[in-house]
Amino acid sequence: MAGPDEREILLGRPTPVVDAYSPELLYPIPRAPARRDLGLGEPLPFVGVDVWYAYELSWLDPTGKPVARVGRFTVPASSPNMVESKSFKLYLNSLNNTRLEGDDAASEVIRRDVGAVVGTPVGLALFGPDDPGLGGVSPHGVCLDPLPVTVPEGEPRPELLALAGNGIVEEELYSHLLRSLCPVTGQPDWATVWVHYRGRPVDRSALLGYILAFRRHQAFHEQCVERIYHDIRERCQPEYLAVQALYTRRGGLDISPLRSSDATAEPLPRLNRQ
C-alpha cells in the first residue's frame, strides 16, 4: 500500500462524528519505507509487538444498552502496515451505536477489521472498566533522568551513544523524558522508554543524551522505537537487546511498541503515567 497521503490521512484534519459502523476509516501506514531509511532488510534484526490500549471502546448490546470496555490490542511488528492512530480512534467510535451480541462477537468484528488493514491477525483482550488488570505499574530498572547531561543538537544518531567499559553486564534502564513529534501534525508525543540489554556496559549519560535528541524528531511511535533499537544495536553491539517505549494517552488510545532480539521477550504492562 502507499505511504501516508495528505489528501487521505485524517490525522490533523477536522473530521465529523461518524455515527455508523465504518471499517473503511482505518488507515494503513506501511512499515517498509522507514525501515529502508534505517538500512533494515529481511530478515529484520528484531521481533516484537505494538501494544495498544483503547480506553473508549463501546458498542450496544442486543437490547440497545451501551457496553463499556477497555481493549488491549497486540499488532505483530512483522505486519506490513501500522494503523494510523486517529483513524483507529474514529473507527472504534463508529461502533458506539452498533448492536453486537456480546464480547466475543465484538472482538471478532474488530480483530477482523484491524487485521485486514495491518495485513496480519491481531490480538484483542477486552476488560471491564473496573478490572484490576488495568492498574498501572512502575518500570523496571534504573531511571536515567537524574543524570547530568548536555542536550545534543540535531537529530538522534548512533554516534551519541557510547560504551562505558569492558566486561559483560545485564541491566534495565529507563527514562521518562522521551519526546518525539508527530510527522503529520508536528505535535509532541511523550513516552517512557525502557532498555534491557546484556553486553558491554552502556554509558548511561550518553544514552540519556541520545534519548533527548528525539525532542524534535518527527516519526511515528513505532518508528522511533525501531530507530532506538537499531542505533543501540549498531553502536553498542549487545548480546541481547529489548527496547520498549510506553507512550502516554491521546484520544483515548496509548501505544507501547516493543522490539527485541529474543522472541520470548514480554512487553511491560501499562505504566502509571499511561
Residue 10: pLDDT over 70: no
Q: Among 231, 167, 152, which residue's Cα sits nearest to residue 195?
A: 231
Q: Architecture of domain 23-134 in CATH?
A: 2-Layer Sandwich (3.30)
pLDDT band at 29 (very low <50, low <70, confident <90, very high): very high
182 belongs to the catalytic site: yes
CA 266 and chain centroid, separation: 14
Residue 2: pLDDT over 50: no
b (16+ CB within 10 A) / e for 24-59: ebbbbbebeebbeeeebeeeeebbbbbbbbbbbbbb
Percent of the chain exceeding pLDDT 70 equals: 95
Q: Under DSSP, is residue 86 helix (H, G, I), strand (E, B) or coil?
A: helix
Alpha helices in 10-160 (DSSP H): 32-37, 85-93, 103-118
CA 159 and chain centroid, separation: 25
Average pLDDT over residues 56-73: 98
**Contact between 168 and 198 (Cβ < 8 Å):** yes
Residues of the chain with CATH 3.30.1130.10: 23-134, 142-260
User: Grid coordinates representing 237?
Assistant: 553491539
pLDDT at residue 11 in the model: 56
Which one of the listed residues 182, 224, 231, 236 is annotated catalytic? 182
**What whole-number distance in Å separates Cα of residue 65 and Cα of residue 70?**
17
User: Grid coordinates representing 126?
Assistant: 477486552
pLDDT at residue 86 in the model: 94
The 10s digit of each residue's pLDDT in 34-48 is 999 999 999 999 999
C-beta neighbour count of 145 within 10 angstroms: 12
The 10s digit of each residue's pLDDT in 155-201 is 999 999 999 999 999 999 999 999 999 999 999 999 999 999 999 99
**What whole-number distance in Å separates Cα of residue 91 and Cα of residue 251?**
12
User: Grid coordinates representing 17?
Assistant: 462524528
Residue 237: pLDDT over 50: yes
pLDDT at residue 17 in the model: 77
pLDDT at residue 115 in the model: 98
CATH code for the structural domain at 142-260: 3.30.1130.10
Average pLDDT over residues 100-118: 98
Average pLDDT over residues 6-19: 65
pTM here is 0.93
The amino acid occupying position 33 is P
**Contact between 54 and 252 (Cβ < 8 Å):** yes
**Contact between 97 and 60 (Cβ < 8 Å):** yes
Q: How many Cα atoms are found within 13 Å in the side-chain-facing hemisphere of 110?
A: 32
pLDDT band at 1 (very low <50, low <70, confident <90, very high): very low
Which H helix or E strand runs over 209? helix 204-212
Average pLDDT over residues 44-65: 98
Backbone Cα Rg of the chain: 19
Average pLDDT over residues 215-236: 98
C-beta neighbour count of 187 within 10 angstroms: 10
Q: Quick one: CA dihedral 159, 160, 165, 168, positive or negative?
A: negative
Which one of the listed residues 50, 189, 231, 254 is annotated catalytic? 189
**What whole-number distance in Å separates Cα of residue 214 and Cα of residue 39?**
19
Which H helix or E strand runs over 224? helix 221-236
Least confident of 7-11, 81-85, 140-144: 7-11
Backbone angles phi and psi of 37, in degrees to 5: -60, -30
